[in-house]
Amino acid sequence: MSTTESHNEAEIVVDPNAVSMTINGKTVQARKGEWIIAAADRTEDFIPRFCYHPRMESVGMCRQCLVEVEGPRGPMMVVSCMTPVAEGQVVRTDTDIVKRAQEGMIELLLANHPLDCPVCDKGGECPLQDQAFSHGPGESRYVEEKRHYEKPIPISGLVFLDRERCILCDRCTRFADEVAGDPLITFTHRGNNTQVMTFPDEPFASYFSGNTVQICPVGALTAEPYRFKARPWDLQQQESTCTTCSVGCRTVVQSSRDEILRYQGVDSDPVNWGWLCDRGRFNFQSTNSPNRLSTPLIKTESGLVSASWTVALDETARVLRHAQPGSIAILGGARGTNEDAWAWAQLADALGVDMRDAQLDDGLPAEIFGYPNATIDDACSAATVILLAPDLKEELPVLYLRLRGAAEKKKIRIIEITTHDSGLTRYAWKSLQHEPGHQAETVQQMLSTPEMQEQLGRGSVVVVAGRSNLAEAAHHTMAVVDTIATTVSQVSVLPVLRRANVRGALSLGLAPRGTSDAAAILEASANGKVDCLILLGADPLSDVPDADLARRGIAGARHIIAIDTFLNNSSAHADIVLPAAAYGEKDGTTTNLEGRVTNVAQSITPHATSRPDWMIAVELAALLDHDLDILTLQDIQTRITQTVGGFDGLSVSVAVRKNGVLVSVPPISPLQVHHDAAVKRNAYEFRLVVARKLYDEAIGTAMSQSLAALAPGAGVFVHPHDLERVGAKDGSSVRVSNTTRSVILPVHASMTVARGTAFVPFNQKGVDIRELLEATNGVTDVQIANIS
């Protein structure tokens, strides 16, 4: 950096939106369109507030943030949350009349508040409590009978509502309507009887309900998993990144006595704006689960038995040492940190392992990263967003929030190309439905429509690309992404592969070498060509769409080493199981779907004897005489920044900051896209769509008691007309068959499913739909028969 700075007057660019004003006599720089309270938040003069929230529209409702602004007829009292800044504006927050008004407001808010702070979860972190001390009159003269309501009432499986504590600030109700798009809680009744409620006997079933608890300025809304668990002053906290999916929401992990008790969203401007989905917020319960693996396990004649780390690592090293060259395979790595992935990639390199894939045949080929990269902000400010993705509300909920918000504010136009209605369908400018496997025709049609052409010519186009249908081969999506990328100008791609660090793992060495992707590895294993299959936080038996392939692959492997937090379907078949440290139990960094590297922080000691993945890799390398020259996490981070292209600008101290740092990764492998013709229907009348719901049998959900019950369970959804055609009643059982196999599922009518297709949620409790999926076919056609 230059130490001699000279400013030429002519060089100073005057920002036309800059506004200079004073607050309590001090000059403040602000921008046109900003509210006074936002400008004041950059000064030392705190304006008390309850209803104002910087990520929601102001309503000017609680009246706590009154200030005085000089006007033509003397000082005027205005709410600072809804009065815009202006050039030369003179604001006072400290006059007697302002103080009187603010004190009066606190007294009025406390009038009907039960003051049950000693038994309230919010006590100690309560804006009402804090501001009653800082801006209140110090006493209440309210001697009347207070409002009484039944307290507290569950308004969903996760959230409790205590209407007596509520100060009617409209934050939760505004969030539900404005941010989440789930207006299932509203104000009801009027005046002094106003309350927040759901429709009678209908739950606040929103994937984002936990946010209302976080933004509630009193203890009116509490979350079931945290109720009466801790006091704020007993909590330790670490800023971190949620690794439930690949959006990478910033969080604070709060723990007490070495137990994680709560996650809170942190406002990261380019990512989550402070919001979290409920799955990300509440799945910390799985970390505390008693079902976690405590010690290494080794297979004996009597099954898997506990072993010491020394024995287990020695045994692992022995297996690896005796494997034939080229017969070791690694599946997984997308659930760990960047450092975990890199260390395992180093070990793989040392052992000459080519068979590696961080994905499980349920995403898109790593080539997707080869297109010009879009960030979340790029997508939310693009002229056009083309969705070729799974239902983002179900798989990447906070990305859904961001895109929904941008579409609602008319900042972007969404063109959705989908097999069934998604959460974003109602916000899309155009939603083009196609039969699975026929997206190429739909895209061709779109590209040739004058109206669409005009829209696509309006500015930047971001393609949000992911695996929308697990019953359909990935190349269908890749082909149309490629068509759009090569036909339309100003295109960039936001890949939405869902596992938290899939991008980091693929970038740091766990991408397939050549054609040896997960499917090929499992096929090789089925054919007896794998001596040792390493499952790095991977559960192929649960996640690989082709269940038969997964079964054959697991059965065919001579040895299986599993590194995981739980014993799952696949690791139960392992010869050696090594317990891994979970999220919150280790430090490191993670890379989100847009390539943003942020830190994950250790808040508690790893469960029992479990260890971070990277440490296991380093120790194994040492036992195999391949010194990786790594002692600490920092060593890995230094090596990554020195050796991995794109990560060279990265320093961990930067990543720890809440917005992290974007890394650019050169194309992982050359693009080779197959443009196959659409697959013709066989005689069967339904084409299958299989996709994930937010809550399923995934281990983090299933092992979190608050979330487990929210999974909808297995079933098949068809259009009401199709249901009639099948002759089945809603909820009755039907037989769903492909040419060779069949399963029995409850059937439901749904208007969101196109006629002639059948939607089945993936990985739900009950019958496994994967029995009908075949890797060799590009699509899956089934018939449905009424059996009741």
Partner 1 sequence: MTSSYLHAPGFIAGDRPKIVTSRFEYADSYKIDRFIATGGYQGLRSALSRPAQTVHDDVKSATVLGRGGAGFPAGVKWGLTPQEVWPRYLVVNGDESEPGTYKDRLLMERDPHQLIEGCLIACYAAGLSQCFLYIRGEMAVAQERVAEALNEAYEAGYVGKNILGTNFSVDIVLHWGAGAYVVGEETALIESLEGNRGMPRLKPPFFPAANGLYGQPTIVNNVETLANLPWLMTNGVDAYTAIGTKTSPGTRMVAVSGHVVRPGVYEIVNGTTTFRDLIYGQEFCGGIRNNNALKAFVPGGGSAPWFTSDQLDLPFEGSQVGAAGSMLGSGAIMVMDETTDIPAAALTLTRFYAHESCGKCTPCREGGTWLERILSRVVDGKGTDADLAQLIEVGESICPGDFPHASNEALGLTAVPFPYKMTTICFVGPSAYVPVHSALTLFRSEFEARITKRTMIKVTAVGVSS
Partner 2 sequence: MSRLTDAHVALAKEIIGRYPRPKSALVPLLHLAQEQDGYITRDAMVHIGELVGVTSAEVYGTATFYEMFKFEPVGKYVVNICGTMSCALMGSEELMHHAEQRLGIKAGGTTPDGMFTLEHAECQAACTEAPCLQVNYRYRYRLTPADLDELIDDLSAERLTHEIPPHGTVAKVRQHIASHRGVGVVAPELVTESPAWLNGKAAL
Q: Which H/E stretch holds residue 300?
A: strand 297-300
Contact indicator for 65, 80 with CB cutoff of 8 Å? yes
Minimum distance between the CB of residue 427 and partner 2, rounded to whole angstroms? 13
Minimum distance between the CB of residue 291 and partner 1, rounded to whole angstroms? 47
Using the minimum distance from each CB to partner 2, give the nearer residue, 198 or 542. Answer: 198
Cα distances (angstroms) measured from residue 205 to each of 71, 176, 209, 710, 762: 47, 10, 7, 10, 20
Q: Considering only 181-189, 397-405, 497-505, 518-526, which stretch makes contact with partner 2 by CB under 8 A?
A: 181-189
Tell me the helix, strand and coil percentages in the chain, rounded to 5: 30, 20, 50
Contact between 120 and partner 2 per CB under 8 A: no
Minimum distance between the CB of residue 512 and partner 1, rounded to whole angstroms? 52
For 203, what's the count of Cα atoms within 13 Å in the CB-facing half-sphere? 11
Cα 694 from Cα 244, distance rounded (Å): 11
198 binds, among partner 1, partner 2, none (CB under 5 to 8 A by kind): partner 2
What phi, psi does 188 have (nearest 5°)? Answer: -130, 165
Nearest-10 crossing angle of helices 96-111, 127-135: 140
Question: Which of 39, 184, 561, 679 is close enough to bind partner 2 by CB under 8 A?
Answer: 184
Using the minimum distance from each CB to partner 2, give the nearer residue, 184 or 473. Answer: 184
Question: Which of 185, 313, 562, 652 is close enough to bind partner 2 by CB under 8 A?
Answer: 185
How many residues make up the chain in this entry? Answer: 788
Cα 414 from Cα 156, distance rounded (Å): 31
Using the minimum distance from each CB to partner 1, give the nearer residue, 107 or 548. Answer: 107
Question: Which of 73, 141, 189, 680 is close enough to bind partner 2 by CB under 8 A?
Answer: 189
Nearest to 561 by CA among 640, 624, 641, 483: 624
What phi, psi does 393 have (nearest 5°)? Answer: -60, -30
User: Based on the number of CB atoms within 10 Å of its own CB, is 43 exposed (0-12), middle (13-18) or buried (19 or more)?
Assistant: middle
Number of residues engaging partner 2 in binding (CB under 8 A)? 14
For 13, what's the count of Cα atoms within 13 Å in the CB-facing half-sphere? 3
Cα distances (angstroms) measured from residue 120 to each of 107, 137, 261: 19, 22, 16
Using the minimum distance from each CB to partner 1, give the nearer residue, 109 or 618. Answer: 109
Cα 434 from Cα 670, distance rounded (Å): 29
Contact between 73 and partner 2 per CB under 8 A: no
Using the minimum distance from each CB to partner 2, give the nearer residue, 179 or 473. Answer: 179
630 binds, among partner 2, partner 1, none (CB under 5 to 8 A by kind): none
Q: Considering only 125-133, 191-199, 574-582, 712-720, which stretch makes contact with partner 2 by CB under 8 A?
A: 191-199
Using the minimum distance from each CB to partner 2, give the nearer residue, 180 or 630. Answer: 180
For 290, what's the count of Cα atoms within 13 Å in the CB-facing half-sphere? 1
Please report where in the chains the tokens 């699975």 appear, as a residue.
436
303 binds, among partner 1, partner 2, none (CB under 5 to 8 A by kind): none
Residue ranges binding partner 1 (CB under 8 A): 59-64, 66, 77, 79, 82-84, 97, 100-101, 104-105, 107-109, 111-112, 141-142, 144, 167-168, 187, 189-194
Contact between 457 and partner 2 per CB under 8 A: no
Cα 659 from Cα 566, distance rounded (Å): 31
199 binds, among partner 1, partner 2, none (CB under 5 to 8 A by kind): partner 2
64 binds, among partner 2, partner 1, none (CB under 5 to 8 A by kind): partner 1
Contact between 187 and partner 2 per CB under 8 A: yes
109 binds, among partner 2, partner 1, none (CB under 5 to 8 A by kind): partner 1
Contact between 186 and partner 2 per CB under 8 A: yes
Structure tokens belonging to residue 372: 């010009």
Using the minimum distance from each CB to partner 1, give the nearer residue, 50 or 759. Answer: 50
Using the minimum distance from each CB to partner 1, give the nearer residue, 78 or 622. Answer: 78
Q: Considering only 18-26, 188-196, 334-342, 482-490, which stretch makes contact with partner 2 by CB under 8 A?
A: 188-196
Q: Which H/E stretch holds residue 487?
A: helix 475-487
Nearest to 762 by CA among 534, 498, 505: 498
Contact indicator for 376, 270 with CB cutoff of 8 Å? yes
Contact between 192 and partner 2 per CB under 8 A: no
Nearest to 264 by CA among 255, 256, 252: 252
Using the minimum distance from each CB to partner 2, give the nearer residue, 207 or 273. Answer: 207
Q: Considering only 178-186, 326-334, 448-456, 655-663, which stretch makes contact with partner 2 by CB under 8 A?
A: 178-186
Structure tokens belonging to residue 485: 């990328």
Minimum distance between the CB of residue 535 and partner 1, rounded to whole angstroms? 54
Q: Which residues, listed in sequence order, are joined to residue 547 by a DSSP beta bridge?
A: none
Minimum distance between the CB of residue 144 and partner 1, rounded to whole angstroms? 5
Question: Which of 7, 73, 190, 680 is close enough to bind partner 2 by CB under 8 A?
Answer: 190
Minimum distance between the CB of residue 187 and partner 2, rounded to whole angstroms? 6
Structure tokens belonging to residue 480: 């149309």
Cα 412 from Cα 548, distance rounded (Å): 42
Contact between 199 and partner 2 per CB under 8 A: yes
Contact between 142 and partner 2 per CB under 8 A: no
Cα 551 from Cα 558, distance rounded (Å): 13
What phi, psi does 226 have (nearest 5°)? Answer: -110, -10
Q: Which H/E stretch holds residue 550?
A: helix 547-556
Q: Considering only 176-184, 498-506, 614-622, 663-671, which stretch makes contact with partner 2 by CB under 8 A?
A: 176-184
Contact between 154 and partner 2 per CB under 8 A: no
Minimum distance between the CB of residue 445 and partner 2, rounded to whole angstroms? 25
Minimum distance between the CB of residue 196 and partner 2, rounded to whole angstroms? 9
Q: In the complex, which residues of this chain contact partner 2 (CB under 8 A)?
A: 182-190, 197-200, 202
